[in-house]
Structure 1
């Protein structure tokens, strides 16, 4: 199925939203990342696509504290373990955090703390699937979207966590 993208600005810089007319399939936190990623091949810019426009609108509402939960169709592709982690991330309420160990325990795999971190790392739809709400057991901000902890900090400040 053909994929489309839209660039929208935010409090953390330009975001690139990717979808396929039926669902959101990706969100890049930097345009440069999008350009360097294989997903860009065959993706067509469609700034007026209704689904991408709605996603941009909901993200804007989130950044301006007018939205706490996203209501968008998502298409996530991962292993059963990754899907379980991402589902659990969606259960973390706005304005709250969980540790990697908390997530591992919630999916009944207490020894999989590092694997939870890896599933977070490959989350293709950050913010909407709120991996930024996962922090270290000692309440440290650890890894986010590669090496973008400052963005995680901004997102948690928006939500009133920090």
Structure 2
């Protein structure tokens, strides 16, 4: 992956130190948004920051998008895997440029409700919502290698 030195970036903060870095201190495995060539339909909510709107919309609607709204996902926590459903995709304007995923988890994982600061990004039962970087999630089918709980495999 190319280094982003030539692009304007926010300074690295303590909150994103867990991400792998290239030799210049930039996130080295953050997926870059594809060009407008790969378009299709199928996503119900993708909420980008203004400076990324067109590219993020194309990414979310792309057939090769790694996740879509309503996909079943797994977050592997220190206590084991937690299953959930993608409810929101986008960038948080006051954090890194990483693509974030709003997940409604099957089990309680904290205190989230789908609200970030003063904005409701998606609806979820108290304690069942979390915003996680795209890199922190796996598709449920990929994690299990078979059909995941709560998912329907289409033939």
Q: Normalising by structure 2, what TM-score?
A: 0.29
* Higher RCO, 1 vs 2 (CA within 8 Å, ≥6 residues apart): 1
Higher strand share: 2
Q: Normalising by structure 1, what TM-score?
A: 0.28
Higher helix share: 1
